[in-house]
Every structure is written in C-alpha cells, then in structure tokens.
Amino acid sequence: MDFITNPIYVLSVLCLMVVLSVYAGKTKIGKQLGGAALLVILFTAVIANFNLIPAASNSIQLYDIIFKYIAPISIFYLLLKVNITSIKNAGLPMVGLFVIGSLATTCGIIISWYLLNPQSLLGEDGKVIAGMLTGTYTGGSVNFNAIALEYEFQKKGILYAGTIAVDNVVTAIWIMITLIIPTFLNRIWKSNKKFISNKNKSTDGNDENENISLTSLAWLLFLGISAYYISDIISLYIIDIPSILILTTIGILLAQSKFISNLKGSQNLGLYLVYVFLAVIGAYCEIGAVSQLQEVGFLLLIFTISAVIIHGILFIIIGGFIYRDWEMISIASQANIGGGASAIALAEAFDRKDLILPAILVGSLGNALGTYLGFLVVYIL
C-alpha cells in the first residue's frame, strides 16, 4: 500500500500520536507512566508494528529528515530559556555520572558476554557486535558505525540490520524505563536534596502557558532555521566540530539576550518537536525485524537487554551513593543508552531545565568516548 509510505500521511499520523499522547499524559495513569514523552513512544511503536506506518526496515526519508533537522532544532528552542547561572551546579555532577554510566555500560557488555557466551553462536562476529553495542551505548550511532566499518561488519547484511533492530528496540524500552525510574526509586530510596539544583522557573513574568503571539512564532521559526543553517556552514567550512555543538553555542548565547528570552512559546515549540522525534524512535522499535533472525535475533536481544540492565543496576547503585538525584541519574543514563536528544527529552519531561545543557554536553562527550571503549571491548574479548 503506497499510502503507508506517503510522507504527508506518515507525518499526519506522527502528529496525531503526539496529540493523543499529550491528552493521555494528563490522565492519572498517564502521569504515573511518565507522561506524554513515554506514551508517544508506546503509541507509535504499536501502530508501526501493525504496519500502519513504516518501521525501521522500510524507513522513509521523512524519518531521516526528522533525525537530521527536527531533533537539533528542537534542542535549540529548548535552550532559549536556559540561564547559564542555573546550570553551573549541574555540569560537573552530570559529567561525573555520565563517565560512571559509560564504565557501567562497558562492564554490562563484558559481564553479559561471559554469562551468555554469544560467541558460541555468532563466532568472531560476536566480539564485533559487543564492541558496536558498547560504542552506541556510550556515544551513539556514530560510534556504532565507526566500529562496524573498521571490521567491515556492514557487509553482513541481515546480521548488521538485525543488530540495528535490536539496538532500536532496547533503546526505546530504556527510554520508557528511565522515565519511570525517579518516581519508583523515590519511594524506596529518597533523593538527596542537596544534590538537586533548583528547577529553572521563569522569574521575569513570562508564562509558557500564555498564548504564543504571531511575532514570537515568526521570530522563533526564523531563529531556529537560520541557526541550524549557520551552524552547518561553520561546521563544514570553518571549524571541523559537530554542528550540534555550534548550534548549542548559538542557542546559549541568544538565550542570554532579554529580547530572545522574552519570546513566548520556545519551550512548547521545542517540546512539541521533541515529541515528534520520540514518535520516530517508537516507529523504529520493530519487533518483527528481530524475530526474522530467529535464534540469532533472540540471542542478540537477550544479550543487549542483559548488558543494559547491568548498566542500569550498577549505575543506580553507584550513582545513588554518590549523588542520589534520580532524575539526573536517569538523564545521564539516557545520554549513554539513547544519546543526547533523548536525554534532553527526559530533562524536559522532568522539568529540569538546569539539566538540558549538561545533557547536550555529555552527549557530545559520549561521541568522543564511545569508539575508544568499543574497540577496547573488542580487544578485551
């Protein structure tokens, strides 16, 4: 059915999932489940697995556009209310937690390797997969593919695609879990309040719930698109660093301007775009692609889930004794497993404006660390 891959149809369905999630997230059950951020992943995953919209195996260009353009611009909008003084106390703890999380990921992969012995079924490919998963659960898909290219693993078509499918499924599940962790853990092990920064509430009289004016909307759209273009140009022709870092810097600098910070609607616009991005994450949660690999797919799924669970257990125990800020721990863990964009979505869902910028910074740190840790795991195993 051609209409299933029609980008206008798919975009309308993604937007509908956001609408339903926003309403469902306001209900009592929805709030307990983590609000709209979790529900939009769940809703979209269900319809994608029923083939009502494309999933990962038949991905369309619209998904790539959302990953490439919408996700970074949503980050830019969320930064327009960030006050640098409000995040200075969160920066170092977040970096420290992220490093602990990266080491916990490495330990999780190694422990799962010896518990499940995937090499018996996967042979030497098992070591490469373990390194790829270590890389992606430290920094993201850049590290995943860097290790795959080194060992020409991308030429192993079905196995490579199956590993990506498993990664997508587990990442989506972990986003859901990290949304719930603070509520659950606060009941059995209270957060240490002295480590929690004050939430960045507006003090200048601007209420994000006020109606966005046409003037504000016009400025926001211009700023978001222009800042993305400028950051891309600078990254390509002037400074060889990731454009997201440049876009982040532009957003932070603009946020210090009273005119920009007074624009109404930047948080709501940014959050809406984050929900669209999370909807695509849900669409990528394709159970069928994993089942096609049969025994190998099941082993990959169990191995990956085991590694991430061990990461979570180690991270919660160590982080609990050091910081015991469950929201910060959840966001740092998500920066490991899901990357910077999904970590920012968590920070916004928890209303932790002070953690948005640190989430971006540790996401970039993960890109630097992931490949090294991935190759280290291949070498150790």
pTM assigned to the model: 0.68
Q: Is residue 55 part of a domain?
A: yes
Please give the Cα distance from 126 to 296 (Å, whole number): 11
Helices (H), the chain: 7-25, 28-32, 36-49, 61-65, 71-79, 84-116, 119-122, 125-136, 141-150, 157-188, 214-237, 243-255, 258-261, 266-283, 287-291, 295-322, 326-337, 340-349, 356-380
Q: Is residue 153 part of a domain?
A: yes
Give me the chain's average pLDDT, please: 81
Sequence-separated (6 or more) residues with CB below 8 Å from residue 281: 41, 44, 168, 171, 172, 175, 338, 342
The number of distinct structural domains making up the chain is 1
Q: Is residue 89 part of a domain?
A: yes
Cβ-based burial of 289 (10 A; exposed 0-12, middle 13-18, buried ≥19) = buried
The residues of the chain scoring below 50 in pLDDT are 194-209
Q: What is the pLDDT of residues 288-312, one digit of tens each?
A: 766 666 777 788 888 999 999 999 9
Q: Is residue 222 part of a domain?
A: yes
Q: What is the pLDDT of residue 198?
A: 45
Domain that holds residue 348: 2-200+217-380
Q: Is residue 141 part of a domain?
A: yes
Give the residue among 346, 353, 331 at the shortest CA–CA distance from 98. 331
Q: What is the pLDDT of residues 25-64, one digit of tens each?
A: 888 777 666 667 778 888 998 898 888 999 877 888 998 8
Report the CATH number that the domain containing residue 228 is assigned in CATH. 1.20.1530
CA distances 38 to 10, 31, 174, Å, are 20, 10, 10
Q: What is the pLDDT of residue 354?
A: 74
Q: Is residue 212 part of a domain?
A: no
Count of Cβ atoms closer than 10 Å to residue 207 Cβ? 8
**How many residues are given for the chain?**
381
